[in-house]
Amino acid sequence: MHTSLTPRILAALLAVMAVAGCKPEQKAAAPTAAEPSPDTVVATYGAGQKVTYGELNDRLADPLGKLQQQMHQMRRQGLEGMVTERLVQEQAKKRGLTEEQFIKAEVDDKVPAPPEDQVKKLYEEAKTRLPPGTTYEQVKPQIVDYLTQDQKRARAQELFTQLRKDANVQLTLPEPPVQRKEVAATGPSKGPENAPVTIVEFSDFQCPFCSRVIKTLDDVVKEYDGKVRLVFRHFPLDFHKQAPKAAEAAMCAADQNKFWEYHDALFANQQALEPEKLKEYAKQVGLDPAKFDACLDSGEKAAQVQKDMEAGKAAGVSGTPAFFINGRPLSGALPPEEFKRVIDAELQAKGVKQG
């Protein structure tokens, strides 16, 4: 059965998307006690010597600052989700609809069904992996949902943005102190080198969340034309076994001035990044096959990828995608509004006219 997206599911989905990223599996943190005062003694040793809570915080300033930023980001997205859910409820009530009916009318019904031949093609490609006897009609609804889920997500985000704009939503959640990291903007880039705002992205070609944020980044660079520079750096995660070689391949493509074309090809084929496929994509984007193959086979770009990873780790990167906007850290497949919020603040701080 075709499943309509309920407002609560959509609000939760957008909140999760905003902080989602590829990360190693982590256990949930235990609840913390109330914050002690800085002069609270947290350890004693020797002849009356002690360590205070303030001293401990000074020692852990960098990781605690990063955690504070992540908590604020999560709270902000949670707040947006709560407000959006209530706006959906209000609109549904005004139109005499249930929330489910409102979302169906404004999201599901406004996303066109994929062409029948596209659905059948996907079925044929997946048929050998389906249980024996599974018919096309049985799985067609699930295939349609799969093919339209990105469009539904985009339409939902568009709807929610418009609802917040119409309601003049103002978020007054207090901002934490701005944290900045020194991250070298070295690597393939888009935008002028003297742009007032530089976004350094650490990414992984096997990370699904990294592929999700591509359009957002492209739109941001286009909207802030001349004011934003995007720099790509590699951070292949340990559990993405094909990502390191894909990163090397991308740098081989950069040698032929086709990094971004090859970047897009890799993200469009995340499930097939074997070395032979990497060489196939090189041909598709117009690279010199002999030069590319020699570069990839030699492993000459491995050191460059490792250098990016070391820079990311030094800046506190633990998952992808991770971003530093003029040194200000953001993480996850964020919606455009999150980037714009930080970019606008940076432009304002530099006295750059916006719009």
pLDDT surpassing 50 at residue 135: yes
pLDDT at 264: 97
Q: For residues 80-86, give the mean pLDDT.
A: 93
Domain boundaries, the chain: 7-16+72-166, 189-349
Dist. CA 19–CA 209, nearest whole Å: 10
Could you say which of 3.40.30.10, 3.60.15.10, 3.40.720.10, 3.40.50.300 is the CATH number of the domain covering 189-349? 3.40.30.10
Where is pLDDT greater, at 120 or 73? 120
Dist. CA 287–CA 249, nearest whole Å: 11
The three-state secondary structure class of 67 is helix
Q: For residues 96-102, give the mean pLDDT.
A: 95
The model's pLDDT over 181-206, given as tens digits with 9 standing for 90+, comes to 999 999 999 999 999 999 999 999 99
pLDDT surpassing 50 at residue 3: no
pLDDT at 7: 46
If you search the block for the tokens 């820079």, which residue do you land on? 311
pLDDT at 82: 94
| Cα–Cα distances in angstroms (integers) from residue 90 to residues 7, 82, 94, 153, in the given order | 12, 13, 6, 21
Q: Average pLDDT over the chain, rounded to whole?
A: 90
The model's pLDDT over 153-173, given as tens digits with 9 standing for 90+, comes to 889 989 998 999 999 999 999
Bridge pairing between strands 197-203 and 228-234: parallel
Residue 339's H or E segment, with its range, is helix 336-349
Three-class SS string for 222-244?
A: HHCCCCEEEEEEECCCCCCCCHH
pLDDT at 11: 47
Let me know: does 113 contact 11? Beta carbons within 8 Å: no
Q: Which residues lie closer than 8 Å to 178 by C-beta, 6 or more apart? A: 328
Q: For residues 90-109, give the mean pLDDT.
A: 95
- Kindly report the number of other CB atoms within 10 A of residue 287's CB atom: 23
Burial 202-231 (b: 16+ CB within 10 A, else e): bbbbbbebbbbbbebbeebbeebeebbbbb
DSSP β-bridge partners for residue 215:
none
pLDDT surpassing 80 at residue 4: no
pLDDT surpassing 70 at residue 9: no
Q: Predicted confidence band at 241 (pLDDT cuts at 50, 70, 90)?
A: very high
Q: Predicted confidence band at 349 (pLDDT cuts at 50, 70, 90)?
A: very high
pLDDT at 280: 97
pLDDT at 30: 52
What is the distance between the terminal CA atoms of the chain, rounded to a whole angstrom?
46
Q: Any idea of the CA torsion for 37, 38, 43, 44, to the nearest 10 degrees?
A: -110
Tokens matching residue 101: 């009916």
The model's pLDDT over 13-22, given as tens digits with 9 standing for 90+, comes to 444 444 467 8
Tokens matching residue 169: 């939503």
Residue 203's H or E segment, with its range, is strand 197-203
Q: Which residues lie closer than 8 Å to 289 by C-beta, 6 or more apart? A: 279, 282, 283
pLDDT surpassing 90 at residue 150: no
Return the percentage of the chain with pLDDT > 70, whole number: 91
The model's pLDDT over 218-235, given as tens digits with 9 standing for 90+, comes to 999 999 999 999 999 999
- Kindly report the number of other CB atoms within 10 A of residue 120's CB atom: 13
What pTM, to 2 d.p., does this model score?
Answer: 0.70
Q: For residues 291-305, give the mean pLDDT.
A: 98
pLDDT surpassing 70 at residue 99: yes
pLDDT at 126: 87
pLDDT surpassing 50 at residue 70: yes
The model's pLDDT over 244-294, given as tens digits with 9 standing for 90+, comes to 999 999 999 999 999 999 999 999 999 999 999 999 999 999 999 999 999
pLDDT at 2: 43
Q: Tell me which residue of 22, 322, 46 sits closest to 201, measured CA to CA.
A: 322
If you search the block for the tokens 């990873």, which residue do you land on? 309
